[in-house]
Chains A and B, each alone.
Chain A
């Protein structure tokens, strides 16, 4: 059943989370930090929408979660990419690329 993820920003956030988790399992705060870091602080994650997004992705079975201990030895909820999520990441990345190219093409018209 399709989730209501037509919102382009939300869709983008999902993609960023999946990409971030494709390197290593991480907790919510770590994911936010990592996205900010990698985008050189261009992408500021609205932290309030991060956790609902994580919940949704888990329900789609694209990511799964477990309780582990963080770098500073605190109990934290970690997320990891499932096989299904990895597949989705591939197709979503492809879709994003096509979308970005198309937007570029349109903007390039003088």
Chain B
């Protein structure tokens, strides 16, 4: 094929000119004049240009025709080798897709700038407790005020505290996560409003008109991003409040808020050093380094500790750069996954190249014949490259599907602790990344082997001077090393997945102490809708009765605190009457107010004494129930009949213990049950008002969740409901981070295992193809298929054994990094290690068996004849 059309055109022109001159010469010889001779020659030719055009057309259709022929040829030859085609497509598709997905996350979550102005100058402030080892405690107001006054390195400070605000939308009232913030909060963070304004000093005045600021997401979700809303009032906590502005979405501390309102610190709160319930941030003065800031903060914290030893002796302060606070964990995860997926991609390309070489080596004869029939080197390369391009195109399509799937899955399943992952979408970037990576992998895995093959076909077999031998030493070592590395990597990842699986198994095997199945729950704050305490208690009673009357409901109750919902926990000091208190001893227990029916609904066991009944009301003697953990820890004998003095959401009073219940896990599967005391809601303090309603059904709990909400709105249309879900969901949520880590690691592990098996398969196939002649000779000399098979299996299994050994050694180090995710599972868990090793060896065996069987089925006659 001539790829220089101008040259070709010139040749045609010269050829035709020669023709015309010869013709003219003939005419001249016949006696014509010079001019006539030329004219006659042209006439008889009938249009030089037309002929040139015709030939050019022929050549052009030829190029298209060649491409079509290459495609058809490629299709035919791939159809004859579906296993090869499928392996290549799946290998590249998975590896390219996963890498493109990780790049999408890195771009979307890490490279996209934070919405803050000069974020590098912002730090978040936390308290640390040297005694308990806690390193990221929320901040107490008095300590914060001291930092603000005594440090010199900061330009401004901001403070936010978690709050729920009930916001009306149409005829529904919803409880929205809200932050109450100090005046300088947004200015400190460097957040500018996207619409409207920020808070000003007058918004903090007593008696000022209430105002709120919305985050962009909440503004769009709840109000459709309506600009006209700014300056108008909405109903917040039953009162009108003006919408002052909208700020970009940002999550700087623990929670993601929808609404902000001004923070008012009451005189009592301003002096509190023991209540840690606020989040703080500060902006460095220009030119101040983070090290200087840490030094100044430590100086002030030590000063406070000296002045207030009883509360602050062990407390220090810690400043974390904003970016680290927001993205630290996300960044570590994404970089690890990105690097891992790049590694997988390189291995995948190497494997596909090895597979292509193996296939090519087996096709040497076919290629050699084509070369001898006149196909040029370029022609053969083109043909092989067309074939690999077809495979890569299919792989790219698969990769795009994989990438989109991974992005959608990861962003919708990301645990809340991994910020910004849920903001990432598939889009032009994912598509672009997929295409670029696919192109790159095509070059790496398709074109290079095609060149090598074409040269093989030319030099070795066409000339017939050298019979194809086995691999060269260097080649063999490189390929063997690659296979060992892959098996080791796969084993490593699978070990991680195995250990996580074991941890989750062990965690979920723990007895919860209650039965979440079939239980629906809704959470409400009744203070505003039912401000009178007595009326509130009677509302609780009638509304629970209404729920018990609903079809399918077998039990219903309410509690101020629900397991696996740590936000509702409350703790208080107490004293057991008649038992002397040791000096300095302070006893605390979880304090929970429950209604009759709650223990039954949750299927909690009453071990001793009794549960509560409707008769335990405000007019009857105060009664309490403790759990077994409390009984064990604080009572030597049965606690029944003893009196406990404590305040349950109100001033301290004396309660008589009438029952003991079984322990429940409080916030997650791992935590050991802790002492807890229960009192009736009807007898609890005046602050009992945030309640979780639970109801048990014999059928599915999901529809019951909605039915309970409808029932509440029927009774109190303006009631806000903040959390409505099934109990099973709440329990499952506590394992979210572990499950996410497990899924990511086992996903990568499975991909790595697939890759290593195709790598092993490809390498053995290549060796087998290159050693056909040798095997033929061996068989002619009496080797049986069995010995040949054993020869190849041994090679495969040796590599597998090396890979497994290397993987086990490295995994001892790797699994230590997983320790924070593991529960009661050692890095050397034999079940996990054994299972993973067995799986890997089995897959390796299969990957070696296939090429071994194929070469053993060789007919020695045909091989030797062909030579």
Interface residues of A (CB under 8 A from B): 1, 27-30, 33, 46-48, 51-52, 55-56, 59, 61, 70, 72, 74-77
Contacts and interface: CB of A to CB of B under 8 A. Distances in A.
A51 B54 CA distance: 9
Contact of B65 (A1, A33, A61, A75): A1
B54 A52 contact: yes
A54 to B, nearest CB: 9
B54 A59 contact: no
A47 B45 contact: yes
B62 A59 contact: yes
B15 A56 contact: no
A52 to B, nearest CB: 5
Nearest to A44: B44
B44 A77 contact: no
Nearest to B373: A61
A29 B22 contact: yes
Contacts of B51: 48, 51-52
A47 B51 CA distance: 9
Interface string B25-46: 1100000000000000000111
B789 to A, nearest CB: 42
Contact of B55 (A1, A27, A55, A61): A55
14 contacts: A29-B19, A30-B22, A33-B26, A46-B46, A47-B23, A48-B47, A48-B50, A48-B51, A51-B16, A55-B58, A70-B22, A74-B21, A76-B18, A77-B11
Majority DSSP secondary structure for residues of B touching A: helix
A44 to B, nearest CB: 9
B25, B51, B62, B374 interface centre (most CB from chain A within 10 Å): B51
Nearest to B66: A1
Nearest to B18: A76
Contacts of A76: 15, 18
Interface of B: 11-12, 14-16, 18-19, 21-23, 25-26, 44-47, 50-51, 54-55, 58-59, 62, 65, 69, 374
A47 B42 CA distance: 10
Closest 3 CB pairs of A and B: A48-B46, A29-B22, A29-B19
B18 A56 contact: no
Contacts of A27: 15, 18-19
Contacts of A56: 58
A74 B18 CA distance: 8
Nearest to B11: A77
B46 A75 contact: no
A1 B59 CA distance: 15
Contacts of B69: 1
A29 B18 contact: yes
A52 B16 CA distance: 11
Given A51-B51, A56-B58, A28 B45 contact: no
Contacts of B58: 52, 55-56, 59
A91 to B, nearest CB: 18
A56 B51 CA distance: 13
B622 to A, nearest CB: 99
Given A47-B45, A48-B45, 18 more contacts: A1-B69, A27-B15, A28-B19, A29-B23, A46-B46, A47-B19, A48-B46, A48-B47, A48-B51, A51-B12, A51-B51, A52-B51, A55-B58, A56-B58, A59-B58, A72-B25, A75-B14, A76-B15
Given A1-B69, A56-B58, A59-B62, A51 B15 contact: yes
A73 B313 CA distance: 111
B805 to A, nearest CB: 55
A65 B14 CA distance: 14
Contacts of A29: 18-19, 22-23
Contacts of A75: 14, 18
Nearest to B50: A48
Contacts of A55: 55, 58-59
Contacts of B54: 52
Nearest to B53: A52
A32 to B, nearest CB: 8
Nearest to B48: A48
Contacts of A72: 25
A33 B29 CA distance: 15
A55 B8 CA distance: 12
Contacts of B11: 77
B18 A77 contact: yes
Contacts of A70: 18, 22
B428 to A, nearest CB: 41
A50 B51 CA distance: 9
Nearest to A1: B69
Nearest to A55: B55
B7 to A, nearest CB: 12
Contacts of B23: 29, 47
A1, A30, A61 interface centre (most CB from chain B within 10 Å): A1
Contacts of A59: 58, 62
Contacts of A52: 51, 54-55, 58
Nearest to B47: A48
A27, A47, A48, A70 interface centre (most CB from chain B within 10 Å): A47
B55 A51 contact: yes
A77 B15 contact: yes
A72 B21 CA distance: 11
Contacts of A47: 19, 23, 44-46
Contacts of A77: 11, 14-15, 18
B64 to A, nearest CB: 12
Nearest to B41: A47
Contacts of A51: 12, 15-16, 19, 51, 55
A59 B62 CA distance: 9
Nearest to A76: B18
A65 to B, nearest CB: 9
B472 to A, nearest CB: 36
B3 to A, nearest CB: 15
A35 to B, nearest CB: 14
Nearest to B45: A47
Contacts of A48: 45-47, 50-51
A51 to B, nearest CB: 5
Nearest to B23: A29
A30 B54 CA distance: 21
Nearest to A32: B19
A29 to B, nearest CB: 4
Given A1-B65, A48-B46, A56-B58, A61 B19 contact: no
A96 to B, nearest CB: 24
B14, B15, B58 interface centre (most CB from chain A within 10 Å): B15
A74 B19 CA distance: 11
Nearest to A48: B46
A38 to B, nearest CB: 17
Given A47-B45, A56-B58, A28 B50 contact: no
Nearest to A51: B51
Nearest to A59: B62
Contacts of B25: 72
A28 to B, nearest CB: 5
Nearest to B15: A77
B2 to A, nearest CB: 11
Contacts of B14: 75, 77
Contacts of B65: 1
